């Protein structure tokens, strides 16, 4: 005869074994889940941070009188760009590089994007993206000016006369353009044709000597001339255009041909949106532009044509 206690004891033993079995299953399930999570983590590594954009900026884009201001403004702008793009931007500790360094870095593949002038571009064009550039909508136009109603009405009238010429980043082709004008008119070389050629960084010190009769002609930018004319309408009335260049795109951004990062379009958009930020407006004011857009590389053709003609002139003893 079994006692009730023996039933209770047997039932307790069975319940204990069941609990042990369930604990074993739970441990196996937990171990399996841990192993699966580990395998999954190995298959799905943490997302890597985006690769930085290596940017090079040529000293040719700034004049010597505002280099420190330009460096400070560019640093602020690049910090803003980096935040907007959510991508680090690597650039020289000096911010701006000499032409020789720009050319060296291009040949060594040490930048992804570059800001430079068309003269530098020409030397490394085969290493740069041939599809498009980031530049202003309107180019720069050079004007050859002389006194209205004076003895100078044609280019040939300037033989033996005094010329003043604006020296600025976007005027980098002005002397070459002048050399091609003289060459086409069979008037000789710049230094032999004019009695003197003086340069200055300030438009007023280039234009006003002609206005006051201290020089017979000057070459300046249309923008600079229009600004002076707004301040003093008599300048516009008393000076006449003897010759004008086509619109020239001479400073711009472009990419190295080997750079195919996904940030290209975003990079261009940030520059297009420059006027929307304080840092962008400060940079635009310092460098005297109103915003940059993506343009077909064909916009460089007029400037490259002047370089081609200048090289031909140089080979035959023209401008240096």
Instruction: Kindly write down the DSSP assignment for every residue of 174-217, as one continuous string.
Output: HHHHHHHHHHHTT---HHHHSSEEEEESSHHHHHHHHHTTSSSE
Determine the pLDDT at residue 212.
Answer: 95
Q: Which residues are 147's β-sheet partners?
A: 239
What token pair was written down for 243? 């010759």
User: Do β-strands 113-117 and 53-58 pair in parallel, antiparallel, or remain unpaired?
Assistant: parallel
Strands (E) in the chain, as ranges, are 53-58, 89-90, 96-97, 113-117, 132-135, 142-147, 162-166, 196-200, 217-221, 239-244, 251-255, 293-296
pLDDT in tens, 193-215: 999 999 999 999 999 999 999 99
* CATH fourth-level superfamily of 53-136+249-314: Periplasmic binding protein-like II (3.40.190.10)
Q: CATH 3.40.190.10 in the chain, residues?
A: 53-136+249-314, 142-246
**Domain 142-246 -> CATH class:** alpha beta
pLDDT band, residue 84 (cuts 50/70/90): confident
Side-chain-facing half-sphere of 91: CA atoms under 13 Å: 23
At residue 320, the pLDDT reads 46
Q: Which tokens belong to 66?
A: 């505002």
* pTM score, whole prediction: 0.80
With H, G, I as helix, E, B as strand and everything else as coil, classify residue 110.
coil
* pLDDT tens column, 246-294: 999 999 999 999 998 767 888 888 888 888 888 888 888 888 777 789 9
């Amino acid at each position: 005869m079994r006692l009730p206690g023996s039933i209770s004891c047997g039932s307790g033993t069975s319940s204990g074994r069941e609990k042990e079995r369930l604990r074993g299953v739970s441990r196996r399930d937990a171990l399996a889940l841990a192993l699966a999570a580990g395998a999954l983590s190995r298959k799905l590594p943490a997302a890597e941070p985006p690769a930085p954009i290596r940017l090079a900026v040529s000293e040719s884009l700034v004049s010597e009188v505002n280099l420190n201001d330009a460096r400070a403004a560019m640093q602020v702008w690049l910090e803003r760009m980096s935040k907007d793009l959510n991508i680090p931007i690597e650039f020289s500790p000096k911010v701006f590089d000499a032409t020789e360094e720009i050319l060296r870095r291009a040949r060594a593949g040490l930048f992804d994007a570059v800001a430079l002038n068309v003269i530098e571009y020409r030397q490394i064009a085969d290493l740069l993206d041939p599809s498009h550039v980031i530049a202003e909508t309107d180019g720069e136009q050079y004007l050859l000016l002389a006194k209205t109603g004076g003895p100078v009405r044609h280019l040939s009238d300037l033989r033996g006369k005094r010329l003043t010429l604006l020296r600025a980043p976007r005027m980098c082709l002005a002397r070459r353009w002048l050399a091609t004008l003289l060459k086409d008119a069979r008037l000789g070389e710049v230094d032999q044709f004019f009695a003197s050629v003086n340069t200055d960084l300030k438009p007023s010190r280039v234009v006003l000597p002609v206005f006051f009769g201290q020089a017979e002609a000057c070459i300046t930018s249309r923008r600079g001339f229009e600004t002076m004319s707004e301040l003093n309408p008599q300048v516009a009335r008393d000076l006449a255009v003897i010759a004008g260049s086509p619109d020239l795109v001479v400073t711009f951004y472009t990419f190295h041909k080997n750079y195919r990062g996904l940030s290209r379009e975003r990079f261009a958009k940030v520059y297009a949106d420059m006027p929307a930020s304080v840092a962008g407006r400060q940079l635009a004011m310092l460098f005297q532009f109103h915003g940059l857009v993506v343009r077909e590389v064909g916009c460089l053709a007029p400037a490259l044509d002047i370089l081609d003609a200048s090289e031909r002139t140089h080979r035959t003893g023209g401008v240096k």
